[in-house]
Structure 1
Amino acid sequence: MNPFRKRTGIFPSYFTGRDDELKELTEIYESTRSGAAGHIIIYGPKGIGKTCLLIKFEEQLKDVDGVYPVRIPLIEGDFDEIYSLIVDKAAENLKISEGHFWDNITSLGVNIPMAGGFTVSRKRPTTSPSVALERILKSIYTELTGENPVLILLFDDLQRIIPNKGTNKVLSILQNALVELNLKGMNIMFVATGAHDIFSQIQDHLDSAVRIFEPYELKPLSKEEVNDAISIPADNEGVNFTEAVVDLIYEMSEGIPYYMQVLAYNCFAEAVDEEVGINELKQSFPRSLDLLAQREFRGMYEKSTNEERKILGLLAEDQREFLSYTEIKEGLKLKSEPSFWLRAMVDKNLIIKKSRGKYCLRDRLFKEYLKTFKPYKENGTY
């Protein structure tokens, strides 16, 4: 059985690393239990392992008395849908009927969307969103048992509910509700994951949120962690990845767990005599690149403007890792300044500004995709 995963958001067969991150989350949980609630937003690019970290943290807390983790995978849509999501997941995790929760919530004067055939109308809360959320969480918290219980809300993909109302409004709603509940002695901890730019959005739109939502950037895995993540599950299936292959997967993936899993998955499928060597890596790499192109890279490229595609082509074709602002302008023979496009591309996570006036593509595999498929040559944009 192939022990690796070729999709994001799926827990790996072997979890490694993230010791510092789990320690940080545990410290915030312990602080919350002592009455000083903490709230954290874990951010980073797609595939960095945010969802898996939430799942692992939830798993560690399941057998701790008086601790109630509720993981809420957010869906694209209106922020109002979050009320039903919270109640549904809380009812499931706490093994309490949804009807019981809804009865308590509506008795508090909150009219919110219902599920499972209940008759209450699907109307927007009659109270303000922050008060509605506060009352919903209060009704959940009062159901918890044990001495000094802790409710931990794990919101996955926070940015999915932000576009509808904007960063400012969504975080204001969360902030106001959490502060009020914590002041009333309810030990509620909020943990969310978000895209690479989620915290810059917070700083741009709601400075006060910085004081309640602690930022934590999730970094790539180290070389040793990548080695464990590949070698241990492969060995468990009787397949050996040579050291050279593991080193190359680390270099190509740059420690991003999703990329590492895709590369290892296709390598494993090519194993000969229960071993994966350089030849097997070479044979499987086109399939890995094509999969990443279909699921991520092509969509990223197609959402870029013609001007941005020219810059992508220039960065892909140049052998250097970084290009300066001046080199980009001169390389494309631009008469106008490219600063607007470069800023937009950084915001879209197409490129990274490494230092003042120095730019590179977001990662090596994206560059490899551009060099291999050369989509910028199809319509003459480069």
Structure 2
Amino acid sequence: MSGIFQRAYDAKWLIFGAALVLLLLWVMWPFLTVIVYAVFIYYIARPIKRMLQPHIKNETLLVTVCMLLLVLPLLLIIGYTLLLALSQFNALITGIGLQSLPEGPLSNMSNVVSEIQRNFTMENIMSGNFGAIVPQDLYEALQGYGSSIANLQQLVISTGSTIVDIIFKLFLVIVIVFYMLREDEKLVSWLKSTFPSLMAEYDGMLLKYGRAVDEDLEKIFFGNILSIVFFAILAATVFSVLNMFAPPGMSIPSPILMGILCGVSALLPVVGMYIVIVPLLLYVLVISLMAGTFFPNIVFYIMMVAAIMIFVEVLPDFVLRPFMSSGRVHTGLLMFAYILGPIVFGIAGLFIGAIVLVLLTHYFRIVVPAISRESEASKI
């Protein structure tokens, strides 16, 4: 027994360090999604930082410019697009007789954003009728809650906590990304100087593993997922513009939602966005034939097909496809990570699944062979 206590005493600082790490993990666990989003934004911002680095020498100013001019606008575009897609998805499933999404802050916000978009017309802007842009239901809801102190308090409690939570987490994401971009090289140098023996063992295995994981995460996040975003936004824009000129019976249903589906399907090899575009064009063809508007507007349909094939399929394929890469991760496994990750972890699972797959792939590609070689060498 005394031997056990003696070994525990000798390892007291190691035990204390392990307890601190466990405490840190326990504190960080509720913010797992925040950290994952920050890691994603870091990897899409880092190549942009490298491009700006020769022109801006001050590190803090460089990271600030990168965040303000590139990262934040991208996040706003993604958030706005997702809200519109959610609203259109809700309208779509309600239209075909299924139960709509439950009422909540996200669905309510998506409906407000969708109505503002519909009211944001050139006529309202030119006439100065800005009150027509904001939904009247919003005023009525506020007036109804403001009839008494109790109702006003209920409004603050029901919506304020959600808004504060979103703002706080968004602030955390921005702060984490800022310091990751500014201090990443210093962190690597600190790890090398603090744990020299760990870095040197197995012929520098940990450094090789970390470098491989880092390179593939950048390729996946900056290449694949950023390409999905651009594919989706471009497709949604093309669909929305076509709908502005579409004759009766030839409009594309839920253009924002269809654009996002096109972006996600771009990950599929060979078939790509054809699995969305072909059924979509067939749907417009059938609906227009049933409405009797196809033959009078056949020229528009041909122009629609040509515009979608050129601007949604061919042009992005040549411009963006070269940036899409799975690195040394198997493409099929990456597809399963994109599919299963969100099922297990929610929206953040899109990134968590890819991170876990990269960590596992390089563990069995680098760590296991290195340990096996060392074990075989020690036996000889």
State the TM bucket, normalised to the shorter chain: under 0.3
Relative to its length, the structure with more strand (as a share) is 1
What's the TM-score once normalised by structure 1's chain length? 0.21
Relative to its length, the structure with more helix (as a share) is 2
What's the TM-score once normalised by structure 2's chain length? 0.21
